[in-house]
Chains A and B, each alone.
Chain A
Amino acid sequence: MVLFVAEFSLNPTEMSEIAEKVKSIIVDKLGVEPSEVTPEASFTNDLGADSLDTVELIMEFEKEFNVSIPDDQAENIGTVGQAIAYLEEHAK
């Protein structure tokens, strides 16, 4: 157990817990490879999401992070990085 924690903390590419969760939700819902989920990736242009997929992603973020994302703010979440930034600010 100690060894595992030590290894994990040494990982130089470690992301925040929120970023990890966001990434895994996107991989799960959009059926994309983890390597495609970069901060700049656009849900619709790069990751193949349609309008319904995008609504579902926002709902999953709300559920996972126990936040309510108003529609006018959801419209501004178009990339992976924007989602992570929003959730890092608002997640409870």
Chain B
Amino acid sequence: MALRRVVVTGLGAITPLGKTVAEYWDGLSRGVSGAAPITRFDASKFKTRFACEVKGYNPDDYFERKEGRKMDLFTQFAVIASDQAIADAGLLEGVDKDRVGVIWGSGIGGLRTFQEECVAFGRGDGTPRFNPFFIPKMIADSSSGNISIKHGFRGPNFVTTSACASSSDSIIAAFNYIRLNMADVIVTGGSEAAITEAGVGGFNAIKAMSERNDAPEMASRPYDKERDGFVLGEGAGALILEEYEHAKARGAKIYAELLGGGLSSDAYHITAPDPDGNGVVLVMKNALRDAGITPADVDYINTHGTSTPLGDGAEVKAIQKVFGEDAYRLNISSTKSMTGHLLGGAGAIEALASILAIQHGVVPPTINHFTDDPELDSRLNFTFNQAQKREVNIAISNTFGFGGHNTSVVFGKFRD
């Protein structure tokens, strides 16, 4: 059976840089930081007291109160971003909803809900008074479930969980289901809302997060010598993936083609990256092979680049192993320098960054570069501090998750 072609026909985003795709891209292309002191809880006793929150968010702007309070914040973000993407793609008119699925990604699920319910129990006298909405709000798949219920999409429906690779894995799963003719359209992407006491405290305990409290907007600085960890972000990105003939038949606008994807595992350590980058080499090779392209075809890599001392270097080494001399021709950038790290939402918003780079012919920057890291090859183009104009025909989005999960997604300019 021949594999079917898959194109991107709709986008949606609610991010620390803005609550629409247009605002998100505006922030990315201007090199804006989304970091600021934490407002979601009192972080005064925490090692890290800043994050990339979605600014000015009020659920009442999007949901009736009764509807909104039955969703954890990560599901609210999922519904908002997917609503935008569905509207953008014009998906609700004349589409067979039995052939439309939802495959979402979330690394954690409803952390706020879980935390609040367990804390309330702990403060009580041992009498269980768990809210009936506790479980349905907390479980990670309440995101894909709510999206399908809202729109009546009866196709394949589930959530992928692979920490920070979750929503690259959801995109690849959606891609495969469409390629294999098990659905014509899939709403995909991912969301996270882990800026809670448990989330920040937990990541602080791993010593994975930046503690640059005196300058939050300068804290996420991938590839800078003084980088000291990632900055936690929140939000969602959504993509409508659609079988090419199906999109053509209904006259849908096409942003890009999803050319291929690769997956691999480090099989090394639960949180630390393999310093030799073997799993990352493998994942990019797998992605190039699946897309049927060579290193010479690639213009831009949107890296995982979380701004941790170990992770950034391992990824760069792996890129050089896979791309050789072609590595110097590439634009490389980590948009996490601006958005922070959306964990299970990262793959989705970075897929959007890659697609928008193709669409606009502009590579978004790696901001906050102050000091070269002598461990990194200075001949590489990290797109430091300012966006660069470039015709992007093919872009790769890399994401890696705790557990050793690696995922690469390849997007290309659409050509009939």
Structural contact, A59 and B131, CB atoms closer than 8 A: yes
Set of chain B residues within 8 Å of A30, measured between Cβ atoms: 66
Set of chain A residues within 8 Å of B131, measured between Cβ atoms: 56, 59
Shortest beta-carbon distance, A28 to chain B, in Å?
Answer: 9
Structural contact, A52 and B129, CB atoms closer than 8 A: no
Structural contact, A59 and B132, CB atoms closer than 8 A: yes
**Size bracket, chain B contacts:** under 10
Set of chain B residues within 8 Å of A56, measured between Cβ atoms: 131-133
Set of chain A residues within 8 Å of B67, measured between Cβ atoms: 31
B131's closest neighbor in chain A, by CB?
A56
Rounded to whole angstroms, the CA-CA distance of A80 and B132 in the bound complex is 20
Rounded to whole angstroms, the CA-CA distance of A30 and B65 in the bound complex is 9
Set of chain B residues within 8 Å of A55, measured between Cβ atoms: 132
Whether B64 is near chain A, meaning CB under 8 Å from some CB there, is: yes
Among candidates B65, B129, B133, residue contacting A31 with C-beta atoms closer than 8 Å: B65
Rounded to whole angstroms, the CA-CA distance of A57 and B129 in the bound complex is 12
Set of chain B residues within 8 Å of A59, measured between Cβ atoms: 129, 131-132
**Size bracket, chain A contacts:** 10 to 19
Structural contact, A52 and B66, CB atoms closer than 8 A: no
Structural contact, A52 and B65, CB atoms closer than 8 A: no
A54's closest neighbor in chain B, by CB?
B132
Q: Which A15-33 residues sit within 8 Å CB-CB of chain B?
A: 29-31
A55's closest neighbor in chain B, by CB?
B132
Set of chain A residues within 8 Å of B64, measured between Cβ atoms: 31
Structural contact, B129 and A63, CB atoms closer than 8 A: yes
* CB 8 Å contact bits of B108-151 with A (1 = contact, 0 = none): 00000000000000000000010111001000000000000000
Shortest beta-carbon distance, B155 to chain A, in Å?
Answer: 24
Set of chain A residues within 8 Å of B136, measured between Cβ atoms: 52
Set of chain B residues within 8 Å of A53, measured between Cβ atoms: 132
Shortest beta-carbon distance, B368 to chain A, in Å?
Answer: 44
Shortest beta-carbon distance, B68 to chain A, in Å?
Answer: 9
B64's closest neighbor in chain A, by CB?
A31
Shortest beta-carbon distance, B59 to chain A, in Å?
Answer: 13
Set of chain B residues within 8 Å of A52, measured between Cβ atoms: 132-133, 136
Set of chain A residues within 8 Å of B132, measured between Cβ atoms: 52-53, 55-56, 59
B→A interface (CB under 8 Å) = 64-67, 129, 131-133, 136
A→B interface (CB under 8 Å) = 29-31, 52-53, 55-56, 59, 62-63
Known A-B contacts: A29-B66, A30-B66, A63-B129. Give 14 more (CB < 8 A).
Answer: A31-B65, A31-B66, A52-B132, A52-B133, A52-B136, A53-B132, A55-B132, A56-B131, A56-B132, A56-B133, A59-B129, A59-B131, A59-B132, A62-B129
8 nearest A-B pairs in the assembled complex, by CB-CB distance: A31-B66, A55-B132, A52-B132, A56-B132, A31-B65, A52-B133, A31-B64, A56-B131
